[in-house]
Amino acid sequence: MTNTSTKTTRAEPDGGPIARFLQATEIDPRLLGMVGALLLIGVGFHVYGLLVLGEGNFLTPRNLWNLSVQTATIGIMATGMVLIIITRHIDLSVGSLVGVTGMVMGLLQVNVLPQYLGLGHPAIWVITVIVGISAGALIGWLNGYLTAYLDIPSFIVTLGGLLIWRSGAFLAANGRTISPVDPTFALLGGGPYGAVGETGSWIVGVVACVGVIYLVMSGRAKRQKHSFPVRPMWAEIFMAALGCGLVIGAVLVVNAYPWPIGIVKDYVKANGITTPPQELFISHGFAYPVLILAAVGIFMTVLMTSTRFGRYVFAIGGNPEAAALAGINTRAMTVKIFVLMGALAGLAGAVASARLNSATNALGLGDELYVIAAAVIGGTSLAGGVGTIYGAILGALVMKSLQTGMVLIGFDTAVQNMVVGAVLVFAVYLDNTYRKRVK
């Protein structure tokens, strides 16, 4: 029997302390860059607010909670855009898909389903979400079919879709805003009632910490089983502690944001509570959109790293011709990837319309820019073959942090768009520089 213990010891890394630390923990340097950018953005806007506006309002529980909710829709779609870009395609229609699926769901739950099920029926929101996701998937199938089987470049297909589906959202309701949506459906958008509260957040935090520890332990066990090099034990402990620390920190932040006093008064009156509203501190906790984003992130990560589908995606992105010669049905895979992207856009449409408590043809306007930028900033290479789900979600957080910070200090929308464009160009430049160095 072979002694695997000698084969699973990682060689002593070379370089300085930082290089040795990164090699031991296997932390992607680009991940550190995004974290550094987030810290710089947060601290910069907060300090600017203190010095110029007299109030630092960026690094507050209220703003961070709202920022997490605003990131959800972009993050959900960015996870699908990773697959699109990895396979050397692009989807410019995702913002319009949010608009048209949101409008479909709005019309369905306001004008159609109540006539048959009754106003406020518990099945309305379920049927609405299923139809919205299915509509997005159907449009995604059309995009994929035109790209894969009719050989129309995805840029052209989705550019046309951007115009078609945005106009479709307008024509569906003749430009009217459909509101209010079903009360249960509206909870998907967050808000005081659309969150799990303090206790629920701690439960989520504990489960997440257990999951982090399990992943670290199981990953080490699998490496040892297959005689792969393993990280030093201190690095394993550090990564587990870091993951749990981030989770606990997030729980503390969301629990530090209380309900507005007006909603507390309504809650006290409705439930016959004798305690004065001013003495009650009711935490928001994690909002449902954030939990939906987390669930999508986990699902997409497993799909990309632990399934044949994920391996095929990376194979096609690395070399489409070689993948086809290896027996991969690249056309069918392209259709499936666009279907997944469309379904995620439909889910984002549900969250966005629920958050606004209405459906409007302007829903998701310009989101395609943020989604593409989030994926690229997160390390997805436009050359194909490289990308991570967690990177795209962090990229979405970077983009929304920039936008939120500029709103807080009073920048015009034009300036915001200029900054987004500059950041996107700079991200592609950094990607090209990084790829040249690793070659």
Where is 153: in which H helix or E strand?
none
Q: Positive or negative, the Cα torsion across 201, 343, 303, 239? A: negative
Would 252 be classed as within a structural domain? Answer: no
Would 40 be classed as within a structural domain? Answer: no
| pLDDT tens, N- to C-terminus, the chain (439 residues) | 444 444 444 555 556 787 788 788 888 777 888 888 889 889 998 998 888 887 888 999 999 999 999 999 999 999 999 999 999 999 999 999 999 999 999 999 999 999 999 888 999 999 999 999 999 999 999 999 999 999 999 999 999 999 999 999 999 888 899 989 999 999 999 988 999 999 999 999 999 999 999 999 998 898 888 888 888 899 899 999 999 999 999 999 999 999 999 999 888 888 888 888 888 899 999 999 999 999 999 999 999 998 999 999 999 999 999 999 999 999 999 999 999 999 999 999 999 999 999 999 889 998 998 999 899 988 888 888 888 999 999 999 998 999 898 988 888 888 888 887 887 788 777 777 766 666 5
Q: Which amino acid would we find at residue 74?
A: I
Report the residue count for the chain: 439
Looking at residue 382, which CATH number applies to its domain? 1.10.3470
Confidence (pLDDT) at 435: 67
The model's pLDDT over 234-283, given as tens digits with 9 standing for 90+, comes to 989 999 999 999 999 999 999 999 999 999 988 888 888 888 888 889 99
Q: Which residues pair with 23 in a beta bridge?
A: none
- CB under 8 A, 24+ apart: contacts of 220-227: 223/8, 224/4, 224/8, 225/4, 227/2, 227/4, 227/7, 227/8
Would 259 be classed as within a structural domain? Answer: no
What does the DSSP 8-state code read for residue 29?
H
Please, are residues 80 and 396 in contact by the beta-carbon 8 Å criterion? no
* Residue 203, number of CB atoms within 10 A of its CB: 15
Would 262 be classed as within a structural domain? Answer: no
Number of domains into which the chain is organized: 1
Would 75 be classed as within a structural domain? Answer: yes
Would 311 be classed as within a structural domain? Answer: yes
Would 368 be classed as within a structural domain? Answer: yes
Would 226 be classed as within a structural domain? Answer: no
Residue span of the structural domain in which 303 resides: 60-195+287-438
